[in-house]
Amino acid sequence: MKYLFGFLLLFCTASVFAQQTDRPLVQFSGITHNADSARLVVVPYVSIKNQSTSKQVYTSDFEGYYSFVAHERDTLTFSSVGYQSVTVVVPAGVANHSLVFNVRLKQLIYNLPAIRVFPWATPDEFKKDFLAMKVADDDFDIIRKNLNPKAVKAAGATYPHTVYESINAQDMHNSIVNSHSITNPLLNPFAWGSLIRDIAAGDKSNAASSY
């Protein structure tokens, strides 16, 4: 029984080996492309596994190019991270024992469900924080605060005056002082002349009236 089992195993192995050797060899070459791109964008470093032998693994280079020897009717699997795997069967009856086959891989797209994240553990905490929230001032509130007389006075006392503001303030001060000042006519020589002329005119009028 033991010898019979060994003979069957040897026969199966020999038959499989004979089937593989009976199939012609093919130089299988090509470039791995991105199927979702309008332009021919290569997918580099794609892993290529021969499922018929389960031991032969190849890899395309940084330009997506690959070339290796396989048997006709071998099943090849192209796989890369982020792309769907593609299975290719080497056809039979290849002319000149050379085949160029470009593989196009599609990107894997996962649509994840939307997740809403809240910083509050319960609705009560949300209500509490919402009621205690300080709402920022809008443009009208900011303008109203800036035009407040107290705010304007405080700003005037805080910020230094420019040269033009100082000159205008001095002119305004001088005009106010001059408008409220009282001048003595006795100190003005023009006023003395006017006074003498008035007296002389008064004397002449009195003499004429006496005649």
Verify that 93 and 33 share a domain, yes or no: yes
Strands 25-34 and 98-100: parallel
The confidence score (pLDDT) of residue 190 equals 61
Look at residues 105, 139, 162 and tell me which one is the last residue of a structural domain.
105
> Do residues 28 and 68 lie in contact, with contact meaning Cβ atoms separated by under 8 Å?
yes
Percent of the chain with pLDDT over 90: 32
Verify that 99 and 147 share a domain, yes or no: no
Which CATH number belongs to the domain containing residue 59 in this structure? 2.60.40.1120
Look at residues 62, 87, 105 and tell me which one is the last residue of a structural domain.
105
Distance CA 14, CA 20 (A): 10
Distance CA 76, CA 211 (A): 152
Verify that 100 and 152 share a domain, yes or no: no
How far are the Cα atoms of 139, 155, 156, 161 from residue 149, in angstroms, in the given order? 18, 10, 10, 18
For 170-208, how does the pLDDT look when each residue is reduced to its tens digit (9 = 90+)?
566 566 556 555 555 555 666 666 767 777 776 555 554
Instruction: Identify residue 105 by its one-letter amino acid code.
Output: L
The confidence score (pLDDT) of residue 11 equals 46
> Do residues 104 and 87 lie in contact, with contact meaning Cβ atoms separated by under 8 Å?
no
Residues linked to residue 100 through DSSP beta bridges, in sequence order: 29
Verify that 30 and 90 share a domain, yes or no: yes
Establish if 190 belongs to a structural domain.
no
Total domains, the chain: 2
For 34-86, how does the pLDDT look when each residue is reduced to its tens digit (9 = 90+)?
998 778 899 999 999 999 987 789 999 999 999 999 999 999 999 999 999 99
Count the Cβ atoms, other than its own, within 10 Å of residue 166. 11
Establish if 57 belongs to a structural domain.
yes
Verify that 124 and 97 share a domain, yes or no: no
- Could you list the residue range(s) of the whole structural domain that residue 120 is in? 115-180
22/14: higher pLDDT: 22
